[in-house]
Amino acid sequence: MSAFSPIFAFFPILVAILTASKLFKHFNLQPSRSSQFPSIDGLRGYLALCVFLHHGMIWYLYLKIGRWEAPPSMLYTNFGQIGVALFFIITGFLFSFKLIDARKKKNRFDWTQLFISRVLRLVPLYFFVMLILVLIVFILTNFSLITSFSVFVHHLMYWLGFTVFGHPDLNGVESTWVIMAGVAWSLPYEWFYYFTLPLFGFLIGLRVSALYVLLSLGIVYLFYTLPFDMVYVYYFSVGIASALLTGNKYLTAFANHKLTDYFLVILLLVTFFLFTQQDINILSIALFVFFVAITNGNTLFGILTHKLSIFLGEMSYSLYLLHGIIFFILFKLLLGFEYASAFSPIEHWGVVSICAFILVVCSFFTYTWIEAPAMQRVKYFSNLLRSRISLKSDKKLLKPH
């Protein structure tokens, strides 16, 4: 059987779901009900697993031919490309919806809390992963400095900066980015979008300080000067368009029609099997139709709002950041390239399924110990920052002339 058979994608996903189920029961967890859009929460986990499958296929080729490249399979290529595209659409939707909702309700938008929440959402886990990355780099170099210490620190700063300005090799380890399966590439786009939100808020009529607007304009200018692919920015606009149409009575009726679930399944299958990034217009329309249905209440036969789907969705950032490292540890450090390169397709996907088990377990603990505690401190740090700013302002006002 060919390694590119769609059948192989079924087993790692099944292992991930069963592992999530066992964790959910063992720790006596309760379904999360805090989100306004639970279907999106459920979708996130499956998107992260799609990217996992994409890199599982790439690792098969990497072990066989020594090149890291997109697989000659439309499905396995799209697991990665469409998975990330929908992540960007979700980001574009959620935050533009917050701004649009604040404008409709004539509420003052809390910009401080927004940026604090983004820092606490992305930074703690990312820095933890950077720690693992550095540890693996030193394991590969027998805990010795190949480059000078200053060069190592300089290159590490690029990584700690979310690879906005690049991802140079660390300590002489060639293609360091392979350790993470290159997943950090998408994070600068996320940061770009977050920093453009004040400009978007200003354009739709929200009250925004001039400082935030100037910051947004500066970020947009910087982004255009760096070698980023504007195709991915296009997906944020699909999310924004979806936010503008959320709550439309006709779309809500369409989303909740009994035949819409079947239509969306067929649409997804056609999209994953027939379209590529080169078909950007068709692909965007297909994803827009799918996503608008989800944001207006469709749950894909209840799958997306199932407790296990939402559970996986909560861990999606961990699933996304950790899976490349787990692949590298198993295929390089434990099994070895030479041994793993001789695997048959069944053996390779068997190891990928083992990786799925390890990934879900590790992601559960990183979410529980790192992500969730950080997000629970958003209000605390927001209030702390406001109090510091207020205190400095008061001191300036009280300063005698």
Summarised one tens digit per residue, pLDDT across range 111-137 is 989 999 999 999 999 999 999 999 999
- Concatenated DSSP letters of 54-122: HHHHHHHHHHHHS-----S-HHHHHHHHHHHHHHHHHHHHHHHHHHHHHHHTTPPP-HHHHHHHHHHHH
Residue 171 φ then ψ, to 5°: 50, 35
Q: How far apart are CA 359 and CA 362, in angstroms?
A: 5
Task: Identify the residue with better confidence: 229 or 305.
Answer: 305
Residue 276 clears pLDDT 90, i.e. is over it: no
- Assigned domain for 96 exists: yes
Residue 297 clears pLDDT 60, i.e. is over it: yes
Number of alpha carbons in the 13 Å side-chain half-sphere of residue 22: 10
Q: How far apart are CA 75 and CA 272, in angstroms?
A: 5
Cβ(198)–Cβ(213) under 8 Å? yes
For the stretch 340-361, pLDDT in tens is 999 999 999 999 999 999 999 9
Residue 395 clears pLDDT 70, i.e. is over it: no
* pLDDT score, position 202: 92
* pLDDT score, position 226: 83
For the stretch 317-335, pLDDT in tens is 999 999 999 999 999 999 9
- Residues 171, 175, 178, 184, Cα dihedral to 10°: 80
- Assigned domain for 145 exists: no
- Assigned domain for 98 exists: yes
Residue 401 clears pLDDT 60, i.e. is over it: no
Looking at the chain, the whole-number percentage of residues with pLDDT higher than 70 is 96
For the stretch 83-98, pLDDT in tens is 999 999 999 999 999 9
* pLDDT score, position 399: 47
- Assigned domain for 185 exists: no
* pLDDT score, position 391: 55
Query: Average pLDDT of the chain?
Result: 92
Q: How far apart are the first and last CA of the chain?
A: 83
Residue 105 clears pLDDT 90, i.e. is over it: no
- Assigned domain for 258 exists: yes
159 pLDDT tier (thresholds 50, 70, 90): very high
- Assigned domain for 197 exists: no
Number of domains in the chain: 1
* pLDDT score, position 108: 84
Mean pLDDT, residues 276-282 taken together: 81
The residue length of the chain stands at 401
* pLDDT score, position 393: 47
Q: How far apart are CA 343 and CA 27, in angstroms?
A: 36
Count of other CB atoms within 10 angstroms of residue 56? 27
Task: Identify the residue with better confidence: 221 or 301.
Answer: 301
- Assigned domain for 318 exists: yes
- Assigned domain for 321 exists: yes
In the DSSP assignment, the letter for residue 333 is: I
Structural domain containing residue 15? 7-124+233-391
Residue 392 clears pLDDT 70, i.e. is over it: no
For the stretch 240-275, pLDDT in tens is 999 999 999 999 999 999 999 999 999 999 999 988
* Nearest of 49, 56, 36 to residue 87 by alpha carbon: 49
- Concatenated DSSP letters of 131-189: HHHHHHHHHHTTT--SS-HHHHHHHHHHHHTTTTT--PPSTT-TTGGGGGTTGGGGHHH
